[in-house]
Amino acid sequence: MNAIEVEGISKHYGSLRAVDGVSLSIESGTIFGLLGPNGAGKTTLIAMLVTMRRPTSGSARVNGFDITKQADSVRKSIGIVFQDPSLDDELTARENLELHAAMYAVPKQVRHGRIEEVIKLVGLEKHLKQQVKTFSGGMKRRLEIARGLVHHPKILFLDEPTIGLDPQTRAGIWDYIKKLNEKEGITIILTTHYMDEADSTCQRVGIIDSGKIIALDTPENLKNTLGGDVISIKCGGTDQCVNEISQLKWVKGAVKHGGFVDVRVEKGEEKIPKILRLMEQHGIPVESVSLHKPSLDDVFLHYTGKTIREDEAGPRDAMRLRRRAWGHRK
């Protein structure tokens, strides 16, 4: 059974096609990652799936319910963790969960049990009576995940679940997400900037750029299609470098990004001396060379021609990061 079926869905804002004819299906019980640069259409696609936005055209079914005709049924069957914090800071953790349970019509008899259950899942059982404004950024995130689970959704949507958190807390959050998926069998659909984390967490990923899905597979398969090794060269004159290298017949691809040129080849260790010689012949100064197996970053670069690093985040994301970092008080 598929948790999500999307057929030719589009969302236009004036002449901008934020999402442009996306079709996609996600099997129940998987962790699916939606990856894309800022403004690629990730958030818009998710907003349509959770019935916050109506599609311009096309249709989608979530847990078998149509997102436009059965929005209420969709909402009851999914949990959402937003990119921006959405807790009431003045309320305690328990009060936040109770309010959520009431709005999602969790029967009164089971409410107490559910709250105990989800709070243990994220390890916050000692903080139930505390006001949320005393929580750290990571604790708030965990509480939001717990809240998304109170009404026992079949699918949990997580929009950038780890943005703005320190690496240790991030690792913790991913552990909780994996545990949820394994123990509870919940389908998880997430977006993230962190490619290595997507790689180690997601069973399948979709890469979205300019509103279109351009790659869809397991991280393993995506990396394998790139094949061989990646040689990263830091040099002056990246344009000339790409030109020269592309002419070599054993080169499978060369792209520049920042001050680097990434070259895909087989048996990379044997090709480094050849490349260095070529650079010297053309008088291109080389600062450093490194060799690695393709990562999801390389896959991303291959398909979109861009990298997805955090330091490329726009001003709005920068503000979000700061707000999280400061614990974001009222």
Q: Which is nearer to other proteins, 71 or 248 (CB)?
A: 71
**Amino acid (1-letter code) at residue 15:** S
The tokens describing 223, both together, are 């990396």
- Smallest gap from residue 232 Cβ to other proteins (A): 39
How many angstroms separate the Cα of 287 from the Cα of each of 15, 234, 242, 292? 44, 5, 15, 17
- Smallest gap from residue 33 Cβ to other proteins (A): 21
Please report the DSSP string for 17-73 in residue order: EEEEEEEEEEETT-EEEEE--TTSSHHHHHHHHTTSS--SEEEEEETTEETTTSHHH
- Smallest gap from residue 14 Cβ to other proteins (A): 15
Whether the Cβ atoms of residue 38 and residue 313 lie closer than 8 Å to each other: yes
- Smallest gap from residue 52 Cβ to other proteins (A): 6
Q: Which is nearer to other proteins, 72 or 287 (CB)?
A: 72
Q: Which is nearer to other proteins, 129 or 330 (CB)?
A: 330
Residues that bind other proteins (CB under 8 A): 47, 50-53, 72, 75-76, 80, 82, 84-91, 95, 98-100, 102-105, 131, 147, 328, 330
Q: Which is nearer to other proteins, 187 or 238 (CB)?
A: 187
155-159 vs 187-191, strand pairing mode: parallel
Q: Which is nearer to other proteins, 38 or 73 (CB)?
A: 73
How many angstroms separate the Cα of 289 from the Cα of each of 9, 171, 229, 257? 43, 30, 13, 14
Q: Which is nearer to other proteins, 53 or 170 (CB)?
A: 53
- Smallest gap from residue 51 Cβ to other proteins (A): 7
- Smallest gap from residue 114 Cβ to other proteins (A): 15
| Dmax (CA) of the chain | 78
- Smallest gap from residue 305 Cβ to other proteins (A): 31
Whether the Cβ atoms of residue 154 and residue 186 lie closer than 8 Å to each other: yes
Q: Which is nearer to other proteins, 86 or 246 (CB)?
A: 86
Q: How many whole angstroms separate alpha carbon 132 and alpha carbon 244?
A: 58
The tokens describing 286, both together, are 């080389």
